[in-house]
Each structure stands twice: as C-alpha cells, then as structure tokens.
Amino acid sequence: MPILEVKNLSVAFTQYTTGFKQKSHQVISDLNVTLEAGKILAVVGASGSGKSLLAHAILGVLPTNAKVSGSMTYVGEELTHARKIALRGKEIALVPQSVNYLDPLMKVGKQVRTSVRTGDPKEAQKNVFERYHLKPEVEGMYPFELSGGMARRTLLSTAIVSGAKVIIADEPTPGLDPTVMKEALGNFRELADSGCAVMLITHDIDSALSIADEIAVFYAGTTVEIAPVTDFTGKGEALRHPYSKALWRALPQNDFIPIKGSQPHSSALPPGCLFEPRCPWATSDCRKGRPEMRELRDGTVRCIHAT
C-alpha cells in the first residue's frame, strides 16, 4: 500500500480584478502522485508548473483563497485538513523551498530540538548539526545571523530529526556547496532506505537522477508522465511523453535543444491537452479534451499518442 496518495488534485485561486469582479485561475489540474515507503519520487518541471503548490497542498498550508478538490490518503485513510495539521512536522515533514520558513524569533538550535519526537532532543540536534557541518555555536544563533547555506542546512536538520515517515523536500539544495549538496542528497537516499517515502522537488534533473527511483514530470499544473529513473537515458526513447523527451534532450549533456514556446499561464490554459500548442505530435483530437493519465510500459503518461 502506498504511504501517501494524491488523486485528481486540482487547485484554483480566486483573485479580484477590477471592482468586485472575481477571476479563478486553475493552477493545478487533475494531478496524481503516489509515494511509497523506501522510494524517492523526484518531481521535475518548469518554474510555475505547480511543484511547490503540490507540497503545500499535502501539508495543508495553501493560502485561504485556494480552492482545492480531489482526494489524498495517508496509509490508506483519507487525509483531511485536520489530519494534515495533526501529522505536519511529525509524520509528514516539509523541507521548504524558502528559508523564510524558519521562525525569525527562535534560536535555530531550539527550532531543531522542538522537532525531535523520540530520544534526547539535545543529542539529536547536536548529531544532525555535526552531520551538516554546523558549528556548535550555530545553535545559539537566530535565523538572520545565518548564511543562506546554513539556513538550508538548518531546514534539512529539522526534517531529518523529526523522524517523519514522509519527507517532502522542495528544492532543498540551492546555495549548498557541492560536498554538502551530495551529502544532503545521500541523506534523502538513506532516509528512503530506512523506510521513509521521499518526494524531492528539484530543477536539477541530474541530482534527481542520481538518487530517485521514479521521476514525475510536471507541466502547467499537472503530471504529464511518471517514469522509472532508468528511462532517462540515451535520446529519451524510453520516455513516454513528448514534453519529458524534450526536457531530457534540452539538457546540456544531451542535445541541448531548447523547447520552442513557453508553458501556458494559468489564466490562458489551452482547452485540450495542456502541451498541445507546443507538441510535435499534436492532432485535432488533442484539442478535444484533457487526456487521462494512463499506464504504459511500467510508467504512466497523459498523452493520447504515446506508445
């Protein structure tokens, strides 16, 4: 049984335009992901494709003007908002994208210690600081006294000491020097190997490939493909969706061919397949409706033409 399952998640924001006119922007549509114990799912996709919003939806920290539909389960039971609040920071931990999530008024050692649930908090905090090369004096500092890299390592420490079963890491590595970054990625792998389910959101496909088991490719607020990591190889022949193939081939070590056009904005989503306006395979059928996510060769894809 998956630890965490997100089914047909949709998120829309209501915004006021001129006067009292309201406009609804669909920023996530029909999104599906599954997290399993012992596995790392990496989530990749362009900026604005909905990666952080998915993380926030799982943690129950979306802004109040967000309208959410779809279902989520945690170990087979519905993950209601009340349950999200109860599990947050305990069973489900977030390594947030922004270091602004640290409490500005609390010394960082204390912030890490309050996340410890079993064993001696002081000991756990000391050990994790050592692991991330945070000197003993750092525990007495306030967030504003930390460098960006130190703040990131503090956020990682908080999630690691929590003993959570599900770790959602939203771009946890920018600003870290390569050695610490490698260590942080290695820690996620260790957490997974010890039975956690990890979702790693990243722009960095290379890091994702180095530690993940599966990769979910996001585009304009939905999953277009979920594939085993081993499919990201060669010219991308094993990949299913034209966007995943293009994303893979756009990497510098591959063909370095940029993808023409840009991701549609949530205020102007195409009526059919969200990738249709940029797709080399598009036909008139692609404009008729959103393709469903379907199983194909050990993965899933949202494209009527994928084979």
- Per CB under 5 A, residues contacting Ni ion are 51-52, 97
Contact 275, 225 (CB under 8 A): no
Q: Tell me which stretch binds ligand ATP (CB under 6 A): 49-57, 181-189, 232-240, 249-257.
A: 49-57
- 162 counts as binding ligand ATP under rule CB under 6 A: no
Least CB distance to Ni ion at residue 56 (A) = 9
- 100 counts as binding ligand ATP under rule CB under 6 A: no
- 27 counts as binding ligand ATP under rule CB under 6 A: yes
Least CB distance to ligand ATP at residue 33 (A) = 13
Select from Ni ion, ligand ATP, none the partner in contact with residue 48, using the beta carbon and a kind-dependent cut-off of 5 to 8 Å: ligand ATP
Least CB distance to Ni ion at residue 94 (A) = 12
DSSP, residue by residue, 37-71: TT-EEEEEE-TTSSHHHHHHHHHT---TTEEEEEE
- 52 counts as binding ligand ATP under rule CB under 6 A: yes
Looking at beta carbons only, is 25 or 297 nearer to ligand ATP?
25
Instruction: Name which of 119, 123, 116 is nearest 158 in CA terms.
Output: 116
Q: Tell me which stretch binds ligand ATP (CB under 6 A): 44-52, 159-167, 227-235, 294-302.
A: 44-52
Ranges of H-type helices in the chain: 51-59, 81-87, 108-113, 121-131, 148-161, 178-193, 205-211, 242-249
- Half-sphere exposure in the Cβ direction for 23 (13 Å, CA): 10
Looking at beta carbons only, is 52 or 162 nearer to Ni ion?
52
Select from Ni ion, ligand ATP, none the partner in contact with residue 53, using the beta carbon and a kind-dependent cut-off of 5 to 8 Å: ligand ATP
Least CB distance to Ni ion at residue 299 (A) = 24
Q: Tell me which stretch binds ligand ATP (CB under 6 A): 31-39, 47-55, 69-77, 242-250.
A: 47-55
What is the C-alpha to C-alpha distance for residues 236 and 248, in angstroms, rounded to an integer?
A: 7
- 53 counts as binding ligand ATP under rule CB under 6 A: yes
DSSP, residue by residue, 157-206: HHHHHTT-SEEEEES--TT--HHHHHHHHHHHHHHHHTT-EEEEE-S-HH
Least CB distance to ligand ATP at residue 93 (A) = 18
Task: Tell me whether strands 92-95 and 166-170 are parallel, antiparallel or unpaired.
Answer: parallel
Contact 153, 180 (CB under 8 A): yes
What is the C-alpha to C-alpha distance for residues 268 and 290, in angstroms, rounded to an integer?
A: 15
Which of 18, 47, 284, 307 touches ligand ATP (CB under 6 A)?
47
The residue length of the chain stands at 307
Looking at beta carbons only, is 93 or 217 nearer to ligand ATP?
217
Looking at beta carbons only, is 116 or 217 nearer to ligand ATP?
217
Over the window 251 to 290, marking each residue x when it contacts ligand ATP by CB under 6 A and - when it does not, the resulting string is: ---------------x------------------------
Residue 215 belongs to what H/E stretch? strand 214-219
Contact 83, 74 (CB under 8 A): yes
Residues that bind ligand ATP (CB under 6 A): 13, 25, 27, 45, 47-53, 63, 97, 266
